[in-house]
Amino acid sequence: MPTQANERERFARGVLAETPGIKDIRLVRSEPLRIGGQQGHEIVAEAKDVKTNTDVMVAQWLRFAGRGHLRVLGVARKEGWGEMFSRLRAVRDGIDLR
Q: Average pLDDT for consecutive 10-residue bins of the chain (98 residues)?
A: 83 97 98 92 98 98 90 96 95 87
Query: What pLDDT, on the 0 to 100 scale, is given for residue 18?
Result: 97
The answer as to CATH 3.40.1000.10 being correct for domain 5-93 is yes
Residue 66 CB-density burial (10 A; 0-12 exposed, 13-18 middle, 19+ buried): exposed
Q: Helix, strand, coil shares of the chain as percentages rounded to 5? A: 25, 50, 25
Provide the residue ranges of all domains of the chain, joining segments of one domain with +. 5-93
What distance in Å separates the CA atoms of residue 81 and residue 63, rounded to the nearest whole number? Answer: 22
Query: What pLDDT, on the 0 to 100 scale, is given for residue 4?
Result: 81
